[in-house]
Structure 1
Amino acid sequence: MSAAMKQSAGATLELSNIHAGYGDFQALFGVSLRVEPGEAVGVVGPNGAGKTTLLRVISGLLRPRAGTLRFGGQDLLQVPAHALPALGIAHVPENRRLFPHLTVEENLKVGAFSKASRAHFEQRRDHVYSLFPRMQQRRHQLAGTMSGGEQQMCAIGRALMSGPKILLLDEPSAGLAPLVVQQVFALVKRIREEGLTVLIVEQNVAQVLRVVDRAYVLETGRVAAEGRAAELAADPAIRRSYLGGH
């Protein structure tokens, strides 16, 4: 990864005993997880398990009801959501949330909105284009007119423009054709091989376990299992529930 893409040295993300929800509905019950610098970690589980809620807590979009949340030793509950990108946290939300009436390049500029990021705009944009050559070809195209796979690439590229220490990916395979899903995960693998820390939540368990070091299985808002990706992929209960195995 180019120097322009990197922030300072990585930071450990630590969640301890997180409880969170919406109104009378509680989505997370005492969730704890840890992501070390340079790791790729997955959070997998069925729809409604609380995976998206977990990322919303980390990125400051939802305040937990209890628990602690630290990044690089800093208490994130004392930091407003809009300040988290400057700390090195970039969130690629479910359904991508691009600005459809802006071009690809304009969406990338939005990702480099901070003063520190603007100073590295051209270098980071060129690096994103090296990761996603199709984005360079489409740089003057309105984001809303692209295919779902191209929009996902643009959304990941936009997040990388801030030079994050950790990339949060929410259901990157959602709504994409199987071949495109493989392409997206190949890009995720390349990004993490360059040293970027990645936390990915996903229903496509088989694909995730191929690209992460470790994973947590979330069921009805609780951590039901955790371990090395290879160990989880070989676990009979995980195979029966999520991988179609016996």
Structure 2
Amino acid sequence: MEGATLSLEGIRAGYGDFQALFDVGLKVSPGEAVGVVGPNGAGKTTLLRVISGMLRPKAGTARFGSTDIAATPAHMLPGIGIAHVPENRRLFPHLTVEENLKVGAYIPAARRRYAEREAYVFDMFPRLKERRHQLAGTMSGGEQQMCAIGRALMSSPRILLLDEPSAGLAPLVVAQVFALVQRIRAEGLTVLIVEQNVAQVLRVVDRAYVLDAGHVVAEGSSAALASDPKIRSAFLGGH
């Protein structure tokens, strides 16, 4: 599938009376790796839920290519190329690695290419091939994150949404996960990654948006944000 631009404008979203996002705008062009960084509770996960159709915005527009995301049922979005790796991985712990990957290939186009996609995922994650018959819930956190990313890749996405991929992982494993992100984007896949680990994510993305209390408070190239004194002070522990 060819690339498509993700474009959000004036997004307001929340839960009941609680508003989590205030007039948020964001753009991700084909082949880009873009980060959304900020503290816990900033609205990062809510933003990804809007993009993957799990939460309808109260105002604003959200488009992926020619598709109006806000008007499309969530289960249809993988068919246009949106794959979401949720926070805390959300694997089926009592299914094997291979069975979890099959879940990621449920759309008709992915089913037709199942063997090809599975070979691609096993090439990218040799550990998963070794553990293909192991129950997902018995693997380490890092292996589970690999499985969650692999499951998303089974649908041949045009954009991969990653929600806090480093959460709960040991520092060495975090470095491995971000190395995998770099490999995925080196193959031309568009990536939107939401992270609290600002220093790590700025090393692997082209641009980033800083979200705080539901507002975009800064945006720019990863190099510009990493050298911005305010950003360094607030998020990188620098001065």
TM-score (norm 2): 0.99
Report the Cα distance in structure 1 between the residues aligned to 2:167 and 2:55, rounded to whole angstroms: 22
Amino acid at match of 2:105: A
How far does residue 73 in structure 1 lie from its aligned partner after superposition?
2.3
1:126 counterpart residue number: 119
Name structure 1 gaps, 5 residues minimum: 1-7
Letter in 1 for 2:125: F
Q: Quick one: which of 129, 132, 142 aligns to 1:139? A: 132
The runs of at least 4 aligned residues of structure 1 exceeding 2 Å deviation read none
Q: Alignment identity in percent?
A: 76
| Runs of 5+ unmatched residues, structure 2 | none
Q: Find the partner of 1:30 among 23, 32, 42.
A: 23
Q: Which residue of 2 aligns with 1:55?
A: 48
Give 2:34's aligned residue. Answer: 41
- Displacement of 1:75 after TM fit? 1.1
Matched, 1:232 2:225: yes
Q: Which residue number corresponds to residue 5 of structure 1?
A: none
The separation in 1 between residues aligned to 2:119 and 2:66, in whole angstroms, is 32
- Write the mapping of 1:48-197 to structure 2, written as runs, cut at 5 A: 48-197=41-190
Q: Which amino acid aligns with 1:192?
A: R
Q: Is the 8 A contact 2:206 2:222 kept in 1?
A: yes
Cα displacement (A) at 1:24:
1.1
Aligned to 1:4: none
CA distance in 2, matches of 1:161, 1:226: 31
The amino acid across from 1:45 in the alignment is G
Alpha-carbon separation, structure 2, partners of 1:63 and 1:118? 28
In structure 1, C-alpha distance between the alignment counterparts of 2:42 and 2:70, rounded to whole Å: 23
Alignment of 1:10-21 (within 5 A): 10-21=3-14
Once the two structures are superposed, residues 225-245 of structure 1 have per-residue CA deviations (whole angstroms, 9 ceiling, x without a partner) of 000000100101111111111
2:208 and 2:95 mapped to 1: Cα distance? 36
Number of residue-to-residue matches in the alignment = 239
- CA distance in 1 between counterparts of 2:45 and 2:75 reads 18
Q: Distance in 2 between matches of 1:55 and 1:238?
A: 22
For residue 138 of structure 1, what is the amino acid of its counterpart?
Answer: R
Amino acid at match of 2:156: G
Counterpart residue identity of residue 206, structure 2: D
C-alpha distance in structure 2 between counterparts of 1:218 and 1:147, whole Å: 30
CA RMSD between the two structures: 0.5
| Secondary structure in 2 matching 1:60 | coil
- Residue 136 of structure 2 aligns with an amino acid whose one-letter code is A
